Amino acid sequence: MAKLNIVLYEPEIPANTGNIGRTCVATGTRLHLIEPLGFHLDEKSIKRAGMDYWSELDVTTYVNWDDFCEKNPGAKIYMATTKGRHVYTEVSYEPDCYIMFGKESAGIPEEILKANPDTCVRIPMIGETRSLNLSNSVAIVLYEALRQNQFDHMKLQGELHRLRWDD
């Protein structure tokens, strides 16, 4: 079973993290938060964005990048960045890989990117657009990884409540 991982490096905006948490719950994805965070995890705004799903979230926090690396040795980490050499659809996401996103104001530090050039991926944009919203970026890349893994363990068909599709 695919068990993807989303990593947020020093996220700053609680609503983004709450929305990402909700996406992780809806997809069975683990969330990893690398401190410092720009908020407290018990703030109302993060719980409001994550709604009542936050208690179901598989989330782990780390004191810094080194702590994350020590606790996840050998992890295959794709790094979403506007500086990436590859488009996010050009790589093959393993069922247990990690997809990392940087903080809203600065992204992933360039020294981390430079040490991992082959796993840096980019969402294409027009012109000089600085970046997309963090929670939107996570959803775009995560759903590509899920698609590549055949949406393993996910409900693939919806149901009408009063009618049948063939009525």
Cα(8)–Cα(18) distance, rounded to whole angstroms?
Answer: 12
Burial degree of 98 (CB within 10 A; 0-12, 13-18, 19+) = buried
| Cβ within 8 Å of residue 8, ≥6 positions away | 17, 20, 31, 32, 33, 34, 100, 101, 103, 134
Q: Is 131 annotated as a binding residue?
A: yes
Q: Is 102 annotated as a binding residue?
A: yes
If you ran DSSP here, which 8-state letter would residue 47 be given? H
- Asked whether 93 and 144 are in contact (CB, 8 A), the reply is yes
Cα(60)–Cα(32) distance, rounded to whole angstroms?
Answer: 5
Q: Is 45 annotated as a binding residue?
A: no
Cα(133)–Cα(110) distance, rounded to whole angstroms?
Answer: 20
Residue numbers in the known binding site are 102, 123, 131
- Bind-site residues for S-adenosyl-L-methionine: 102, 123, 131
